[in-house]
Homo-oligomer: A and B are copies of this chain.
Amino acid sequence: MSDYDKFVALNVKIADISNSMSVLNWDQEVNLPKNGLEKRAKQISTLAGISHELLLSKEYETLVKKLQSQTLTSIEKANVKEAAKVLTKNKKLTTDYIRELAETQTLANNAWLEARNKSDFSIFEPFLEKILNLKFKECDLIGYDRHPYDVMLDTYEPGLTTERVEIIFKDAKSPLLELLGKINKKEVPNNSFMLRQYNKAQQWDFGIYLLKQMGYDFDSGRQDLSAHPFTTSLGPNDVRITTRINEQNLYEMIWSCIHEGGHALYEQGLPADQYGLAAGEYASLGIHESQSRIWENNVGRSLSYWKANFKVLKDSFPDRLANVTLVDFYKAINIVKPSLIRTASDELTYHFHVMIRFEIEKALFEKSIKIKDLPSVWNDKYKSILDVNVPNDAQGVLQDIHWSHGSFGYFPTYSIGSFYAAQFYNKAQKDIPNLEGYIEKGDMKPLLKWLRKNIHQYGRVYNAEELCEKVTGSTLNSKYFMDYANQKYGGLYEL
């Protein structure tokens, strides 16, 4: 066995354990009986410990070191380089730190749940402080050149810096505000027909139809119901998604299916022969999000897409949609309106939710705001930027779970993912003659093929910015998103 083969075998072993953890997690969300939770958490943590031990084993470190000076193919080189990066980072985190973080996460998560239920930030405050202090410690342990928050960003979006996010968001903010200002002067389209009673079984069937049309492979995955929709890869040929169905709201199931379907197509398209290695894994959370957003928004909220699918939807619910035209529907699924909750917001105001988070997180890591002031800081920003009054903490600063897990630096990847999506989609439209024509006919194969060839096949051989430059000729630029938004909403709202 060559050193590289040994390196692969160890990575596969670690991937086997981590995919087993994903099975346990998936099962927890979809199947777990009530009383099974405690032991399940313990089982997952046992597997996490074993995988961590393997990653930090002398054997692994020695192999990675040896391979760095050996002659390898370019993909092998990339796999070793990425492994070295992950290893270096992980070695800096002490076992004590990891244990303390895990314990604090559990406590903070429970406190957050209680705080949100009672809409009382003060319950969460001391735990948020603990978890933030641990994250400050993480920044020190890992080390950084310019900004401690860079460490947080790098976890989810390798190579991304605070400075870069500031530039990207600054570029996007004014044109977005300008477009939003114009739209806000117009009448909000009617969407009452989206909120009628829509039967669960028929919604489910329609979702499956859309997933099949996208090219989601049900022989290498499955869809189930869960409280919060998610995608998880349990191995290259077992990529599962979940959805949820609200019988009084047609939006939820449809765009959760398309969104998770987009994530899943990415995972199903990663090179299976690179299982366990960087070349077989997603590039970054931003790139992952770009794959879900392309399908959810650029495709799934387009007129072309619904030219293909509106008739099928109408046939599924003839009583409900009889008098609704394609244009009525298209308008209803693209309503722009400032609101309180990020996850329920439209594709334009969405970015302000993320920008506000980013500003607050950055300030927290600069220690320029106090934790106890978070609710008022939050509410002020929502008032000044979105002109929205936050009625309580539950719908304000406590709305998202991320901070209770210590997931700072995660939110920016959501917006960045949308911007990547627009930039990729713009390129796909140039590369595929008559792309919209295919979509209008329900033929998603050309787009999927393009994504597979240009993005999926590379795994994490390139980081997000490198990949973007390789695919589109330039690094991330929000102007593609603004072009898309101005054109689409200009037409929709007759601006």
Contact = CB atoms under 8 A, between A and B. Distances in A.
Contacts of A46: 12-13, 16-17, 20
> Mostly helix, strand, loop or mixed at chain A's interface?
helix
Nearest to A238: B36
Contact of A40 (B34, B36, B42, B238): B238
Interface string A236-265: 111010000000000000000000000000
B236 A33 contact: no
A6 interface: no
A319 to B, nearest CB: 25
Nearest to A36: B238
A144 interface: no
Contacts of A237: 33, 35-36, 38-39
Contact of A33 (B31, B33, B50, B220): B220
A23 B16 contact: no
Nearest to A37: B237
Given A23-B23, A24-B23, A16 B42 contact: yes
A222 B36 CA distance: 11
A71 B42 CA distance: 29
Contacts of A220: 33-36
A27 interface: yes
A32 interface: yes
A32 B35 CA distance: 24
Contacts of A32: 238
Contacts of A20: 20, 23-24, 43, 46-47
Contact of A47 (B16, B33, B275): B16
As for how many copies of this chain the complex holds, the number is 2
A187 interface: no
Nearest to A275: B39
Most chain B beta-carbon neighbours within 10 Å: one of A23, A24, A32, A47: A23
A39 B235 CA distance: 7
A218 interface: yes
A219 interface: yes
A172 interface: no
Given A19-B43, A40-B238, A219 B27 contact: no
A455 interface: no
Most chain B beta-carbon neighbours within 10 Å: one of A12, A235, A236, A238: A238
8 contacts: A20-B20, A20-B43, A33-B219, A33-B220, A34-B220, A39-B275, A40-B234, A43-B235
A217 B236 CA distance: 35
Contacts of A33: 218-222, 237-238, 240
Contacts of A17: 46-47, 50
Contact of A27 (B13, B23, B36): B23
Interface string A208-244: 0000000001111110000000000011111010000
